[in-house]
Amino acid sequence: MTSTRSSTAALALAAALALAPAATATAAPAPDAATAVPDTAASGTGERIVVTFRDGAGSQELRHDVYARASERAGGSRLVETAATADDATVVRTEGAPAAAELQQLTAALEQDPAVEHAEPDLLATTSFEPNDPLYSAQQWTLWNDPAGTGLPLAWDLATGAGQTIAVVDTGITPHPDLDVNVLPGYDFVSTPQNGRDGDGWDADATDMGDYPDAALCPNSPMPPASSWHGTHTAGIAAAGAGNATGIAGVAPDARILPVRAVGACSQGYISDVAAGVVWASGAPVPGVPLNPHPASVINLSLGVPGECPAVLQAAVDEALARGIPVVVAAGNQAVDAAQSAPANCAGVISVAATDVAGALAPYSNFGSVTLAAPGGDPHAQVVSTGNAGVTVPGAATYTHRNGTSMAAPAVSGAVALLRQAAPTLGVAGIQDALTSTARQAPGGCAPGCGAGIVDPVSAVVQAQGGRPFSTRGGIDGLYRRIAGSAGEPQSRELCALGGSPCFQEFTNGWILWHAGQGARWYDVLPATWWAGP
């Protein structure tokens, strides 16, 4: 993988480039490998319940009495038997289409009947979209359904970002086969010809002309003598096309990308230019510039400058928020409290820290005053995305590896695009609540520096659609049913190591860890070596 780079912010705003730093054991049944729905599968609870009766309690008359008692206790719809199924179980359905809460009450009423051994909703299985992009399965650990990833492609069964626009206020963009179909006409807000390297100021061409160090503009720059193509990289993380047998998949592969160039030579850009780019991306007027015909659904700022939030930038953020557009920003790569860096400390933004391949807070990431975290990588496991092979000026399209909070922010921007498609009525506050209330912890120890936790797009989308974001199944469910009173409510999805075992799930008062061949066990604190099994 390629090495990372750093940047400074003297007198101007510098792009935040990808740089960088035991309990009681209880056996339980093994997970059902045939289950083909997300753990959060409120997307398909339907109106049917699978009931297994105890031996000797399966006569037709008794079964009908059980159904009647359950309907009466739950105060819900009448239950009608439809068919027998595997393992001597019976499928019943409601006469109407019950709400999720009513179906849960009916299921619980059946489960409590002494004649019933087991009852559970008859879930609607879906076939998860697995992209054929070659780097997805090989290198995109940030998207996988494991403790360090974001749980895609499970969320893609619910939303792909279609109809949404992600504005990337950055160094601009270069042509790329994994991006071109999603790119809208953008704008260049780099105001000086020297910084923009295009011979003029603001114009309608958002092409990244290269941000390699210029001896006159940044003589003390520690950056290598090559351009970063930073905006192209962040755009790919958010919304590279998926299923096109090319390169990578973005978090919101059907969203549109609105490139807004505000950073030029030496990865620096004036705060006033960045602010103008944010205002324009929001659809608000900017003097001397045509109105943006494609207002953003979310604005991504993977850049930063030390100190308080500048007034002109705060005003731009306020304009976007007033128009219902969330602003997602990188927390910064200085390993300090994010309160010391803008725009992470601007009011109303969604600030994003970075996690490493273990799900821990990355050593370089700013922390503390952040909203949540997302995978940003580390020097040993970086984030692959779209790039450019040019050294000083644009060259051939390629793929590059970087790590930093710049990589974490567009993952959250992509998640916002999924939410906006799945729940169009959600406002800025509702989107932030959906992200933070479903964010999860990981055994790598992200808390407390990661704010609410690691972004979990699939759980956020399920919750935004009115479903239960967390449920239990398989071996973990078998143990949970016996200890639910002391375990508390599920606080995360079930997550598994890459080989499918072990799996773990967080609850109010601890964790359940399942390991193939050893069953499920309860832990007050998940062992640091959880992947080795109980």
Q: Active-site residues: which are they?
A: 170, 230, 406
Maximum distance among all Cα pairs of the chain, rounded to whole angstroms: 90
For 323, what's the count of Cα atoms within 13 Å in the CB-facing half-sphere?
A: 21
Neighbours of 199 (CB within 10 A): 9
**First-to-final CA distance of the chain:** 34
Q: Which of 366, 202, 209 is nearest to 275 (CA)?
A: 202
Between CA 465 and CA 45 the distance in angstroms is: 13
- The alpha carbons of the chain give a radius of gyration, in whole angstroms, of 25
Chain mean position to CA 125 = 22
Between CA 128 and CA 499 the distance in angstroms is: 18
The CA-atom distances, in angstroms, between 29 and each of 343, 488, 516 are: 49, 20, 10
Any bridge partners for residue 513, and if so which?
A: 504, 521
Phi and psi dihedrals of 490, rounded to 5? -60, 135
Between CA 436 and CA 161 the distance in angstroms is: 19
Between CA 353 and CA 268 the distance in angstroms is: 21
Question: Side chain identity at 218, as an amino acid letter?
Answer: C
DSSP secondary structure code for residue 498 in this structure: T
Exposed/middle/buried for residue 226 (C-beta within 10 Å: 0-12, 13-18, 19+): middle
